[in-house]
Amino acid sequence: MLEREISVLLIEDEPEVAALMSAILKKAKNIQCQVDIAGQLTSGIDLLSQKKFNAILLDLSLPDSSGLETLRSVYARAGGTPIVVLTGIDDEEIATQAVRQGAQDYIVKGSTDINGMVRSVIYAIERKRSEEVLRKAHDELEEKVRERTAELQQANKNLLKEIEERREKEEEVRIANFRLKETQSQLIQAAKMEVVGGLASGVAHEVKNPLAIILQGVEYLERKIPSDDQSIVTTIGFIRNAVERADSIVRGLMDFSSIKEMNISKQQIVPIIDKGLMLLKHQFDKQHIKLEKQIADNLPDIAMDRNKIEQVLLNLLMNAADAMPKGGTLTLKIYTKDNLPDAMSLIVEILDSGSGIENDAIDQIFDPFFTTKRTKGGTGLGLSIVRSILETHKAGIEISNRPEGGAQITITFSI
């Protein structure tokens, strides 16, 4: 909407033209037009700096400036006030250029009627104002887009953070679940051991004496019965084997019952391992088993029951030897590992190059009486005794198959 009162700066050097135009403007209907006249560029610019105008009517040919230079000078100081250029009849080319360079419109002097001229000024003001409104709306819109973009970026960031937090939580739940399952299977294992341990001592003591009597009987018969009767010799041999097997089971069960009786002292593990290896040297040589040792220096002492750890190592070394009937390599690694600050573990690894453990057996090898060597005299008590002894030492044991073949046993003592 146009203001009813407008003020116009008329920069025109010809006094008659200026007077005529001023009169025309002042006569306009519906508008009260106030006109200030400047006869030169400099005085026009002075007026511009003193007062605010709604429009500038500018003659390009002035005593102190001419052509488009005049427009540039005024435009630079107009502060957005619309400029309508006044040109002579022959100057339409310049007028068009003036419009390109920022003038709102042009009026050809002498050719304009009153209404045409007033309309031209009013349109110039209106156009300028529309431009302003548009520019403001555009700026506001841009600001809104900027704000919204920032909001979206923030929301995006929050979302990513939430996703990350959720992922961490899921990982925690997964680990907790894994620990729970592990604890569950340890509890089941412990319960099994409890049952076996409970039965063990009673049964073992009950059966030990009758077995000794049977064995004595077998030895008596072997001495008394003539050795040329082959079927009798074979039968008595069977009985002897069966009794010896029963006797080794009884001894295994008695080991169970004595696991909790510990005689702990701090000592080095290497001499115990060496003793085990010495006891088995003959068997290793016979089976062509090569031994490789990788033992770190300055190993710390461990609190342990020497006899029981000896029993653990013998069981494991014998299992490894059993798995390599046609020879192979047994590797022993002993080293320490830093866990948390102040916490350290001593690790014993026994690696063989034997058959490895069958996949469906891997979950059962620690079960009492689980054996794949029954026909060769295995009782299946070895690993369950090993595990129980290590548990009383607060040590862990893991068995896995090696990618290159054979099994790997890892014992972890905490120090």
Ligand X SMILES: Nc1ncnc2c1ncn2[C@@H]1O[C@H](COP(=O)(O)OP(=O)(O)OP(=O)(O)O)[C@@H](O)[C@H]1O
Question: In the complex, which residues of this chain contact ligand X (CB under 6 A)?
Answer: 315, 319-320, 323, 352, 354-357, 361, 365, 370-373, 378-384, 407
**Residue number with CB closer to ligand X (216 or 307):** 307
Instruction: Give the separation between CA 261 and CA 388, rounded to whole angstroms.
Output: 12
Give the separation between CA 117 and CA 111, rounded to whole angstroms. 9
**Residue nearest to Mg ion as judged by C-beta position:** 382
Q: How far is CA 285 from the centre of its chain?
A: 51
Q: Binding partner of residue 62 among Mg ion, ligand X, none, CB under 5 to 8 Å per kind? A: none
The one of ligand X, Mg ion, none whose footprint includes residue 408, by CB under 5 to 8 A per kind, is none
Over the window 260 to 299, marking each residue x when it contacts Mg ion by CB under 5 A and - when it does not, the resulting string is ----------------------------------------
Contacts of 401 (CB under 8 A, 6+ apart): 356, 357, 362, 407, 408
| CA distances for 325 relative to 284, 288, 311, angstroms | 10, 9, 22
In sequence order, which ranges of 269-333 are alpha helices (DSSP H)?
Answer: 270-286, 306-322
Tell me the torsion sign for CA atoms 357, 361, 363, 368: negative
Among Mg ion, ligand X, none, partner that 355 touches (CB below 5 to 8 angstroms by kind): ligand X
380 binds, among Mg ion, ligand X, none (CB under 5 to 8 A by kind): ligand X
CB proximity list for 218: less than 8 A, separation 6 or greater = 236, 239, 240, 243
Q: Which does 354 bind (CB under 5 to 8 A by kind): Mg ion, ligand X, none?
A: ligand X
Q: How far is the CB of 320 from ligand X (least distance, A)?
A: 5
Pairing of the two strands 344-352 and 407-414: antiparallel
Maximal C-alpha separation, the chain: 163
Question: Under a CB-based contact definition with an 8 Å cutoff, are residues 299 and 336 in contact?
Answer: yes
Cβ 232 to ligand X shortest distance, Å: 30
Query: What is the distance between the alpha carbons of residues 197 and 200, in angstroms, rounded to a whole number?
Result: 5
- Tokens 């739940």 found at: 173
Instruction: Pick the closer one to ligand X by CB: 82 or 406.
Output: 406
In whole angstroms, the minimum distance from the beta carbon of 384 to ligand X comes to 6
> 10 Å Cβ neighbour count for 401?
15
152 vs 361, beta carbon nearer ligand X: 361
Pair 233, 180: CB distance under 8 Å: no
Whichever of 122 and 399 has its CB closer to Mg ion, that residue is 399
Q: Which residue has its beta carbon closest to ligand X?
A: 382
Out of 319, 331, 384, 388, name the contact with Mg ion by CB under 5 A.
319
Q: Which is nearer to ligand X, 24 or 351 (CB)?
A: 351
Report the nearest approach of ligand X to the CB of residue 190 (Å): 17
Asked if residue 305 lies in contact with residue 262, where contact means CB atoms within 8 angstroms, the answer is: yes
Q: Closer to ligand X by CB, 107 or 407: give it.
A: 407
Q: Distance (Å, rounded) from C-alpha 191 to C-alpha 197?
A: 10
Q: Residue 379 touches which of Mg ion, ligand X, none (CB < 5 to 8 A by kind)?
A: ligand X
Least distance to Mg ion from the beta carbon of 409, Å? 11
Specify the residue, 53 or 370, whose C-beta has the smaller distance to Mg ion.
Answer: 370
Number of other CB atoms surrounding residue 95 within 10 Å = 19
**Residue 373 binding result from ligand X, Mg ion, none, given CB thresholds of 5 to 8 Å by partner type:** ligand X
Place of tokens 């500038």: 56
Contact 76, 55 (CB under 8 A): no
Q: Which is nearer to ligand X, 44 or 354 (CB)?
A: 354
Closest approach, Cβ 358 to ligand X, in A, equals 7
Number of helices (H), then strands (E), belonging to the chain: the values are: 9, 12
CA atoms within a 13 Å half-sphere pointing along the CA-CB vector of 316: 28
Nearer residue to ligand X within complex by CB, 216 or 241: 241
Residue with smaller CB distance to ligand X, 6 or 395:
395
CB of 318 to Mg ion, least distance (A): 6
276 contact choice in Mg ion, ligand X, none (CB below 5 to 8 Å, kind-dependent)? none
Which residues within the stretch 367-386 sit at the binding site for Mg ion (CB under 5 A)? 382
Q: What is the DSSP-derived secondary structure letter of residue 62?
A: B
311 binds, among ligand X, Mg ion, none (CB under 5 to 8 A by kind): none
Does position 328 interact with Mg ion (CB under 5 A)? The reply is no
Which residues here bind Mg ion, judged by CB under 5 A? 319, 382
